Structures are given as structure tokens and as C-alpha cells.
Amino acid sequence: MFKRRDKRKFGRVMLDSVYPRGGWGRALYYITHRVRRLPDTPQKIARGIFAGVFVSFTPLYGLHFFLAALIAWGLRGNILAALLSTLFGNPLTYVPIAMVSLKTGHFLLGSRFDEPSETTLVAKFRGAGEDLLDNLVAVFTGAEANWAKLGQFYHELFLPYLIGGIAPGIAAGLVAYYLSVPVIAAYQNRRRGRLKEKLAELRQKAGKADDRP
């Protein structure tokens, strides 16, 4: 049901994750359409949506799918809805999500927050990655390990982001939950009504056919 007929190449998948073909508007419509058609109760689907939206406020990139599925499982929500809803975090929302989470985290930790630009954020993530790679190489080459960039990244970005993303993540997840339940319920009821009407029409046609001499 959810498999693609045409398999995409890895490069196409990566490009679509940054900017889908047809734009993010079309991608959002596709995702909401898929979520509404999931064969589950509105409450379970909405709990999955909560999980996916919540993890979008964490800095654990690369683990969002796993964490969303784990939280949805713990809440007895729909896991597929959770996976689809992680796309709430995308290139259009990452910066505002990061700013809100960082401001909240630094406030809770009582530390100073110097609002970084998008370029600075990317640079600090890249610097942390470079430290990890260089120090991994140092294990085999005997070079001196240097954790300065990674330490700066942890104290200025990762820890405040991780702590500060909890409250806004829960808030956004709850909003998504309470908005989703009535919308999904209305869609499912309308769809069941259409199916009943079609079934009644088919029975009526079958009855007329049986009455013919």
C-alpha cells in the first residue's frame, strides 16, 4: 500500500529530503493524506503524530525515526503516523525549532544565549563532526586528540537544545494531537459514509438485476 512503484536512487532520496519534487506544500498534502487514511483509530494515529512532532524538537538527528517509533510504541500510538510526522522537522522549520529550543534551554540552565545565525549553527555542527572524525583517526595514528570544537558544541548547542526542546516539543505535540483527533475522525466517518453509499448502490443494482426476467 505504501511502497513506491518506482525505486528512487540514493541521490534522489537525499535531494527530495531537502526539497521534494513539487515543493514542500505538495509533500505536506501527501503526508496528511497518508496519515488520514491509516487503518487505525483517530486517537492512536494522533498519539503517533504527537511522537513524531515531539522528536522533531530534539537535536538527535539521525535517530528521529527510531525515537518516534519508540515513543509511539510506548504511548500505544500508530508507529507509521509517528514516522511520517517526524517530517514536521524539515529544512523550513529546523531553524525556528532550534532557536526556540536553544533559548529555552539556556534559560533553564541559566547560561548565556548568543543567538547564532544559520551559518554559525551549521559551522558548529560541522566542527563537532570534524572533531569526532579527527579523534577517531587519532586512535589509529597516535595523533593528539582535540575535543575543543566538540566541547563547545556540547555546552553551547547540544545540551541546551536537548533540554530546551522538551517543553516546546511537548506543547507542539499536544497541539498536533488535539487538532488531529477531530480532523481524522471526521475524515474517517465521511469515508465510511461514502463506502456505505457505494455498497448500497451496488446492492440496489444487484437487486434490480435479479428482478429481471
30 burial via Cβ count (<10 Å: 0-12, 13-18, 19+): middle
Question: In a structure prediction context, what are the per-residue pLDDT tens digits for the chain, which is 213 residues long?
Answer: 444 455 544 344 434 444 455 554 555 555 565 655 667 788 999 999 999 999 999 999 889 999 999 999 999 999 888 988 898 888 788 889 989 999 999 999 998 877 776 667 777 778 888 888 888 887 778 777 777 888 888 888 899 999 999 999 999 999 999 999 998 888 878 776 766 667 766 666 666 555 555
In 38-196, beta strands by DSSP E: none
Evaluate whether 20 touches 26 at the Cβ level (below 8 Å): yes
Q: Which of 20, 21, 55, 51 is nearest to 35 (CA)?
A: 51
Q: Residue with C-alpha cell 526539497?
A: 19
> Domain residues of the chain, as ranges?
17-92, 94-168
**Residues in the chain, how many?**
213
